[in-house]
Structure 1
Amino acid sequence: MHHVFAIALVVFSVASGGSARGELSAGAAVVDVTPEQLPVLVNGGMLGREADTVKTPLSARSLVLDDGEDRLAIVVVDSCMMPRALLDEAKAAAAAQTGIPADRILISATHTHSAPSSMACLGTEADPSYVPFLRRKLVEAIAGAAGNLEPARVGWGVVDAGEYTALRRWIRRPDRLADDPFGNPTLRANMHAASNWDDVTGESGPEDPDLSLIALQSADGRPLAVLANFSMHYFGDQSLSADYFGLFCEGLKSRLAGESEAEGEGPPFVGIMSHGCSGDIYRVDYAKPPGSRGEDLTIQSYADALVDRAVGAYESIEFRADADLEMAEARVPLRYRVPDAQRLDWARRVVEAMGDRPPKDTTEVYAREQLILHEWQSTEVVVQAIKIGELAIATTPTETYALTGLKIKLQSPLEKTMVIELANGGDGYIPPPEQHLLGGYNTWAARSAGLEVQAEPKIVEAALGLLEDVSGCDRAEYRQPVGPASEAIRSLRPAAYWRLDEFSGPRAIDHVNDHDAFYEPGVAFFLEGPRPDAFSPGGRPNRSAHLAGGRIDARIPGLGDRYSVSLWCWNGMPEGARDVSGWLFARGHDRDRDGGNDRLGVGGTGEAQGRLIFSPGGPAGGDRPLVGRTAIERWTWHHVVLVRDGDSVRIHLDGDPEPEIEAPAVAGSAPRLDQIFLGGRCDGDSTWEGRLDEIAVFDRVLTVEEIERLSPR
């Protein structure tokens, strides 16, 4: 079993108890946390703002569970984010009042951007009158749920709600970089960049479509509460408002409470919507043309649609009363990304010029943030795991990317796992390490995104270790399912087969031999790949890598001048953006000034626009490449096979037995030259901007019949 002690765990506690447990009890409550004094500061923007009206009430929705030996509490608050210090104080007060240990209390924010500010961040301070009010209300919510405990049954439901969530963070073209607040052209990926398709090459990560439910019933089947979880950042509403989270909770209550509540049977039903991993997620699907991205949805129709999905999932839930409870907590020390001497000097000069007034623009906001990070240097974050019978909850204290949530879910010891973000603190964005290189708002050092580059893997490791401890089982090993198309590749005995389904780099695993390849920096992971029905059966997406400046470096010992390369490609560059849209394959030494040999790519401008191009490279290759006949549509998957047979070459597209390119081509590769590059030339010119997947290299010439087997139609 893997434990999280390896990352210097500061405080660690596991709820004790044997295998024999009493009957599960549950209680739920809702406490109004709408401020009593207006106006109030509102968080969630770059600059400070106030609100003096209330559109919808704000709530703290709580759930207390007891199995006869252990008791725990879960609270979800209509707030943008809440600092750990405030929550620690509320937990201590609640523990004194209810007897529930502080490290068995989970408190998270919904992340509505239209709620009072309880945490200073960017250009907004914490509202001084609201913070103590909220602290009291959190204690009240926990005590109220504890007072409503009664025998209960629990069950799990999940439904695909992918049409209501999408990636908001897209990768920009390498020639369309923008400046960060410090004046540097680092912005390679950013939120909402795909509002103009000409600027971008594709999404920077996967989405998580699951709307998950942990449902509680009384012993006689009366609905008590539902804890839902969904990964969508926020809808956006007039302040003050609980956003779609509150509308969902009320809609679920009206659909599930039924006649029992009208007749006054027991405490009211409580619907709870917790925030899934949504740091790079929004409701607008930029992959669709304008006008069909969900722009016509109102906040009410959006919430109603999610309620419809949730009710459908609820109706299929099987409940049980013998669920035992376990809970564990870790406090993980992390450092901030503090400014270097040059940036610190710049920040001091900007802030000195501001005087006592608050920041008025992005530059001033980030200058002040540098001074704060420099003063703080380090922190500790809280990570938790809960087991409820066969169900699990893991938490992060941050705005977490969907990929991070998938890492935890797909490796959890318990298949039925939800991940709640912004729990037990508001520690900002934690991009996976490779995403820092792509830049963007989510990476700019501030309290909103200031944790160390390795914060994401450390928090994932902490969550998985805690899940192992509460479940008593080892974490799952994620394996991409093997479909008929994968079996077809394996049956032809390739020298190497890279599925490119990794969560992270730098290693790309060879699934048939030991020829692992290596990702260079500039790659995004776990994007959707081609033909999931053929490569990844069972309802799981096929996964691929998106190249954004990086290549894949591989070596095939003994590769001669008779070989074949089979790969799937998805071009992210607009037509005509540059001379060559991108190179897919090259053979030769790294940094070869001639670009290497046997170069295969997709043309950009001129007569080769959008069509396959091939150059044997070297002195004999000339400058004019061979050109295919078929245009390759942008943002679509295509299967390409390169066959080198001594002094001739042929290239097939999408399994067509008629080659796109077939010609004599003097071999430029020495028989013992075993290094190849995928997604770029040897000299790094015009690297591939888009996705690659399911790459196989054969140390022999494939026949037309074999190529047709590799390209399912």
Structure 2
Amino acid sequence: MRSREAQASQDAVAARGHPLAEVFFRLVESRDGDKVLDQAIMVSWDLVGVRPGILEKVRDHVKPRLPDFEIGKLIINATHTHNAPVTLEGRYTLPESGVMKPAEYVQFMIGRVGEAVVEAWQKRRVGKVGWGQGQAVVPQNRRAVYADGTARMYGATNTQEFRGIEGYEDHNLDVLFFWDEKDQLLATAINVACPSQEAEGGLSIHADFWHPVREMLRQRHGKDLFVLGWAGAGGDQTSRPMYRKTAEARMRKLRGLTPLEEVARRIVAGWEEAYQGARQDIRSDAVLRHGVQEIELPYRKVTEAEAAEARQQAARYAEDPAQRWNYRWHQGVVERYEAQQAGTEGNFKMELHALRLGDVAVATNTFELYTDYGVQIKARSPAVQTFVIQLTGSGGYLPSERAVRGGGYGAVIQSSRIGPDGGQVLVERTLEAIKGLWPPVK
């Protein structure tokens, strides 16, 4: 068996001249002679989330052009930069002129992404693969816990009531590497258990810390190196410290780095650790298996008290166009409660991808998944290394049980369609899918 690989990128610049987003692709196919054994196309897009309809539209664009590809094995993940273009209609108040509206941007990018995927697939060639692990202090839990048992995202830590940080931080950096037949490094995929929201706002559009990561790696390993950013289970994480902020700012200043460059420095250092090991174990015969299935997760139950509070808040914002986001945030809970009471809510359906590439497992989910769930999956996986990729859709936060007890943004009912019960189902179904890619243990 040999693998065939390709990669491509797309830097979207609209006719108006505004840089919009970068998109990176990795395509892998395993063959035995002329027989195709399995396939995958993985797209990393600098967006806050993959909103409903985007994946389907890209697949529809690509499918007639690639009759030899199983279209359900095309995956898109978002890096969760908060400085991405808006792709969701009716959520924000936008200028009437001078900018691309969400639907216009989505249509514009789908064409460009689709064409780049087709071109890359048609140019795929025999290659090699490797994997490694480094360490990078990038994810830092962003939920402060207080004496009364409550928790708050980005809550103050310099107060007498502060008692600690809520959860674990996964500083492992999991990396895939792809070479051509002559061992020339072509592409890499980096799994960081943290969203790329160091900047988390402002008026400029950019990829957050992934941009300096790509720039630094290209300076060292060639200007044509393709870098896929994979956000791991980091719904409760940030790259910014919750305390010791002054000390970190001082060291960053002494190094002459911006906040984005400091995060990139850490990722690149961990990447180099992984690369030094992986380059000693380059594989040309790694097995590729790719399973796709739709799973169902139970919705988080809305209590009567939660529904009443949400109804009151929705009414408060209903008539103010500038508060459209807040209105929808609360009104969504009301609608969920009504469906729950009517018995029409059903289950949440999610497309789950599980891949085996040599000794590595890769599993996807559509959520801003709290780190506890990612740790469970990694700890129980049969793979040497397990990559968990979040935000292959826009399922919202999936908080841990302790986070729900503490409350606060990211854990309250408005933030979360799926709760800890559904999170545990996700863990079990993901592990079943991963284990199915390995021979049963005797």
- TM-score band by shorter chain is 0.7 to 0.9
8 A contact 1:123–1:365 mirrored in 2: no
8 A contact 2:295–2:351 mirrored in 1: yes
User: What stretches of structure 1 of length at least 5 have no aligned partner?
Assistant: 1-20, 39-52, 178-187, 262-267, 476-713
- Residue 416 of structure 1 is matched in structure 2 by 385
What code does the residue aligned with 1:280 have? D
1:450 aligned onto 2:412: no
SS in 1 for 2:270: helix
Measure, in 2, the Cα distance between the counterparts of 1:86 and 1:368: 24
- Residue 209 of structure 1 is matched in structure 2 by 171
- The sequence identity of aligned pairs, in percent, is 22
- Residue 104 of structure 2 is matched in structure 1 by 129
Question: How big is each residue's C-alpha offset from its partner over 1:8-32, in whole Å with a ceiling of 9 and x where there is no partner?
Answer: xxxxxxxxxxxxx2x1111000012
Match of 1:169 among 136, 143, 148: 143
What code does the residue aligned with 1:313 have? A
TM-score between both structures, scaled by the size of structure 2: 0.85
8 A contact 2:314–2:328 mirrored in 1: no
Q: Structure 1 208/465 Cα, relative in aligned 2: closer, same or farther at 3 Å?
A: same
- Residue 192 of structure 2 is matched in structure 1 by 230
TM-score between both structures, scaled by the size of structure 1: 0.54
SS in 1 for 2:403: helix
The 5 Å alignment of 1:37-116 reads: 54=19, 58-68=21-31, 69=36, 70-99=38-67, 100-116=69-85
Question: Which of the pair is proportionally richer in helix?
Answer: 2
1:277 aligned onto 2:233: yes
8 A contact 1:79–1:109 mirrored in 2: yes
SS in 2 for 1:426: coil
The 5 Å alignment of 1:160-309 reads: 160-162=135-137, 164-174=138-148, 188-233=150-195, 234-236=197-199, 238=202, 239-257=204-222, 268-286=224-242, 288-293=243-248, 296=252, 297-309=258-270
Q: Structure 1 195/34 Cα, relative in aligned 2: closer, same or farther at 3 Å?
A: farther
8 A contact 1:413–1:473 mirrored in 2: no
1:147: how far off? 2.6
1:310 aligned onto 2:265: no
8 A contact 1:172–1:193 mirrored in 2: no
1:371: how far off? 3.8
SS in 2 for 1:24: strand
1:160: how far off? 1.0
Measure, in 2, the Cα distance between the counterparts of 1:34 and 1:131: 13
1:394 aligned onto 2:363: yes
What code does the residue aligned with 1:360 have? Q
1:360 aligned onto 2:327: no
> Which protein, 1 or 2, shows the higher relative CO under an 8 Å CA cutoff with sep ≥ 6?
2
1:103: how far off? 2.5
8 A contact 1:110–1:275 mirrored in 2: yes
SS in 2 for 1:443: coil
The 5 Å alignment of 1:444-483 reads: 444-446=412-414, 448-473=415-440
1:354: how far off? 4.7
RMSD: 2.8
Measure, in 1, the Cα distance between the counterparts of 2:116 and 2:143: 36
User: What stretches of structure 2 of length at least 5 have no aligned partner?
Assistant: 95-100, 253-257, 340-344
- Residue 379 of structure 1 is matched in structure 2 by 348
Match of 1:33 among 3, 7, 12: 12
Return structure 1 stretches of 4+ with deviation > 4 angstroms. Answer: 34-38, 120-126, 338-357
Measure, in 2, the Cα distance between the counterparts of 1:451 and 1:364: 20
Measure, in 2, the Cα distance between the counterparts of 1:150 and 1:426: 33
The 5 Å alignment of 1:484-495 reads: none
SS in 2 for 1:33: strand
- Residue 645 of structure 1 is matched in structure 2 by none
SS in 2 for 1:410: helix
1:24 aligned onto 2:6: no
SS in 2 for 1:211: strand
Q: Structure 1 140/361 Cα, relative in aligned 2: closer, same or farther at 3 Å?
A: closer
1:250: how far off? 2.8
Measure, in 1, the Cα distance between the counterparts of 2:89 and 2:348: 16
Q: Structure 1 242/372 Cα, relative in aligned 2: closer, same or farther at 3 Å?
A: farther
1:328 aligned onto 2:291: yes
- The structure with the largest alpha-carbon Rg is 1
- Residue 98 of structure 2 is matched in structure 1 by none
